[in-house]
Amino acid sequence: MVNYKDLGLVNTREMFARAIKGGYAIPAFNFNNMEQMQAIIKAAVETKSPVILQVSKGARQYANATLLRYMAQGAVEYAKELGCKHPEIVLHLDHGDTFETCKSCIDSGFSSVMIDGSHLPYEENVALTKKVVDYAHQFDVTVEGELGVLAGVEDEVSAEHHTYTNPEEVIDFATRTGCDSLAISIGTSHGAYKFKPEQCHVDPATGRLVPPPLEFAVLDAVMEKLPGFPIVLHGSSSVPQEEVDTINKFGGKLEAAIGIPEDQLRKAAKSAVCKINIDSDSRLAMTAAVRKVFAEKPAEFDPRKYLGPARDNMEKLYKHKIINVLGSENKLAQLD
């Protein structure tokens, strides 16, 4: 058993309470390699932002669970080395689908876990989430549950259609499970293809697709039922079109890739939404930089020469999200 506090990590409880009160959201960035982790920590330190390092089940399988744990511990030390005396870094399991997966993460040093039982019948979702909560809270690990289903594909998470969260269920779910935060469905979606072209309209000025707005009425109803309760948005990458354009310019084929407009995310961040998940955007930033290097320098074969620019481009993206979208800059509990 490895306790996350021994690794220098924190759970989400205090940072979420501050975020709700302050009208901003904590960035939750997925990672599965060193370059992503370096970029996330540099961006968080330079903006003085709390940050959640998210690891999916697929990322643990790809990178190795033991290595990821030590990377998280290294992230804390790296933040201190960069000048942050009191970093606030969470290691969070994204979309845990079984009790066993959540327990394994808790036992290996995660400070927060998500149990996603949204695909199950309601009562089974309640029972599974409560089982994880009962185990996690013994070790002061925070738990995120989910109500509603997000469409799209990302890692091992896949659903063809979304189902909006039913506000009438949230009080019962939160009360019976004891979860610390709740992921809801209001129209966000996993992956880089969040909407079909027929769901969008074309901006006459730019010629680009514009997606439908999020269902803020659902969010408002949830907040009315659960005032002050931490809400989470998954599938919230904006799919920057400049990165898509770069990828396509240098041999990629991302057609009709579209995400959540950043103005919608800014609006959400000012509400009880205190955690916003971003994964696809960093994948696009990394891929765009790598493709550019290979196109402009076809003889290059040193990984540092193409992963370095990829890391820098991701850091730029993360800083933008923190400062211009989520508003979490200068929100550390102890500003250094």
List, by residue number, the catalytic residues.
94
User: Residue length, the chain?
Assistant: 336
Could you give the CA distance from residue 220 to residue 223 in angstroms, rounded to a whole number?
A: 5
3-state SS string over 155-209? CCEEECCCECCCHHHHHHHHHHHCCCEEEECCCCEECCECCCHHHCEECCCCCCE
Residue 212, classed as helix, strand or coil, is coil
Spatial contact of 107 and 2, defined as CB atoms under 8 Å apart? yes
Could you give the CA distance from residue 44 to residue 79 in angstroms, rounded to a whole number?
A: 8
Give the tokens for residue 66.
Answer: 């033991």
Q: Are strands 142-147 and 112-115 parallel, antiparallel or unpaired?
A: parallel
Could you give the CA distance from residue 221 to residue 280 in angstroms, rounded to a whole number?
A: 28
Largest Cα span, the chain: 60
